[in-house]
A = this chain, B = another copy of it.
Amino acid sequence: MEFTTGSIQQKGLELADITAGAYVNQTVTVHGAVHIVRDMGGVTFLTLRKRDGVLQCVCAPETQLPPEESTVVITGVLREEGRAPGGYELAAERVEVLSSPAEAMPVPVSKWKLKLNLDTELALRPVVLRNLQKRSVFKIQEGLVRAFRDTLEQAGFTEIHTPKIVHAGAEGGSNIFRLDYFGKKAFLGQSPQTYKQTMVGVFERVYEVAPVFRAEKHSTTRHLNEYTSLDFEMGYIGSFYDVMEMETSFLQNAFALLEREYAADLKRLSVTLPKLERIPCVRFDEIKRLASERYNRPIRDPYDLEPEEESNIGRYAKEEWDSDFVFVTHYPSKKRPFYAMDDPEDSKYTLSFDLLYKGMEVTTGGQRIHDYHQQVAKMLSREMHPEEFESYLMIHKHGMPPHGGLGLGLERLTMKLCGLDNVRYACLFPRDLSRLEP
């Protein structure tokens, strides 16, 4: 009869143990994957890939070395060695092979810079991600999500999990995936919008990190058909500026966390963290005009921002306020969804915002309508049918606090921070018009 007791026995050292320095000149055991083997004549270097970096192992020339991507346990004496990555080197005495690949890598994953065309890279993603630079992108992504949660937990938000199979789209339009749900028509959620608003009535402040689905027929460098949305929604706001302050606080915390705990990944990708003491906030129509004038580009669509306009606004913010970020506020009502609250001072505009990061929209947010009659009226003015939204309107009917929130595209934020030129590189296994695999 056996029992588990929850004791987690560490088998072998991790890199953090090694760089802490306590094991110098001791015999230690380390596991990992054989990242690269270099025969230097009199001596062979084996670079061991571990979850948080690499360890240089030096092997006697007669050692039988397993092929790259074998997984091994190496025993040897740990030495300080200034020329080795991380400053330590293992003088291998014994190499035990745990597993062996059936074939060599299709691409040289152990290279520092792995230059592949997009299609090749994405097709080979399961192994390409073993490249140190490639995987660092997703450590940074992890840090962003951790900071999002930490910030919101600290501020009294409750994490929620809402359904992705839904009976109607939150954002309207045709950009929605349809599926058959036991003979009924169903859709994949474009946003947790209605659910997170509902939960504001329960917990005041809520957040969710989850996939959203957009059947957009765009093939651009910034669109994915499935992405991870960082959503929050907060009640009892004074104005939608509270939402923008919360996002600013999140970004500040994120960059601080990355600096503190992800320095190796940032360095590997040559990322310089933006300074973020403040973010300028400019009205939609004002910044549109300013950017148009400065960069001599006529305004074609008065209701929305074209990608080139976003890019110019980003440039303007950099030049004028030395900021990578800019909040564009008061979007035209016409282009915002039915739940957006109109500006009481001019109902052509809404109490809403987008956050642009280096000239690309990464967040959409704003204040929502909380009053039942106002919400029904806005639906009717758009020729929508309130009776189709019964379970959503239930929350307005029975009382909701003033509230607002936002949705942030994780992959776009990661892309811009890491300086990637295609959002697909910021998604482990991207979904686009032609890609369903891996």
Q: Is the CB of A236 within 8 A of B278?
A: no
B-facing residues in A227-268 (Cβ within 8 Å): 228, 235-236, 238, 241, 244-249, 251-252
**DSSP majority for the A interface?**
mixed
Q: Is the CB of A4 within 8 A of B159?
A: no
Q: Is the CB of B164 within 8 A of A211?
A: yes
Q: Is A87 an interface residue (CB 8 A)?
A: no
Instruction: List, in ascending order, chain B residues with CB within 8 A of A125's CB.
Output: 391
Instruction: List, in ascending order, chain B residues with CB within 8 A of A427's CB.
Output: 161
Q: Is the CB of A101 within 8 A of B436?
A: no
B-facing residues in A409-429 (Cβ within 8 Å): 410, 427-429
Instruction: List, in ascending order, chain B residues with CB within 8 A of A139's CB.
Output: 158
Q: Is the CB of B126 within 8 A of A4?
A: no
Q: Is A364 an interface residue (CB 8 A)?
A: no
Stretch at the interface among A20-28, A178-186, A344-352, A379-387: A178-186
Instruction: List, in ascending order, chain B residues with CB within 8 A of A402's CB.
Output: 71, 98-99
Stretch at the interface among A36-44, A112-120, A369-377: A369-377
In the bound assembly, the distance between CA atoms of A395 and B8 in angstroms comes to: 27
Instruction: List, in ascending order, chain B residues with CB within 8 A of A278's CB.
Output: 3-6
Stretch at the interface among A76-84, A197-205, A301-309: A197-205
Q: Name A428's contact: one of B3, B8, B162 (CB within 8 Å).
A: B162
Chain B residue with Cβ nearest A105: B398
Task: Tally A residues with Cβ within 8 Å of B.
Answer: 131
Chain B residue with Cβ nearest A142: B159
B-facing residues in A91-141 (Cβ within 8 Å): 98-106, 123-127, 129-130, 135, 138-139, 141
Instruction: List, in ascending order, chain B residues with CB within 8 A of A126's CB.
Output: 198, 201, 391-392, 394-395
Name the residue in A12, A145, A397, A398 with the highest tally of chain B Cβ atoms < 10 Å from its Cβ.
A398
Name the residue in A5, A126, A130 with the highest tally of chain B Cβ atoms < 10 Å from its Cβ.
A126
Q: Is the CB of A245 within 8 A of B158?
A: no
Chain B residue with Cβ nearest A160: B428
Q: Is the CB of B11 within 8 A of A236?
A: yes
Q: Is the CB of A4 within 8 A of B211?
A: no
Q: Name A8's contact: one of B71, B129, B204, B245 (CB within 8 Å).
A: B245
In addition to A71-B399, A142-B159, 16 A-B residue pairs with Cβ atoms within 8 Å of each other are A2-B280, A3-B279, A4-B281, A12-B236, A102-B373, A102-B398, A127-B201, A127-B394, A129-B198, A138-B160, A142-B160, A164-B213, A178-B180, A179-B188, A184-B436, A188-B188
What are 8 inter-chain pairs, A to B, with CB distance below 8 A? A3-B278, A6-B245, A8-B245, A8-B249, A33-B401, A51-B205, A102-B397, A103-B372
What 5 A-B pairs are tightest by C-beta distance, nearest first? A69-B399, A391-B438, A101-B399, A6-B248, A102-B372
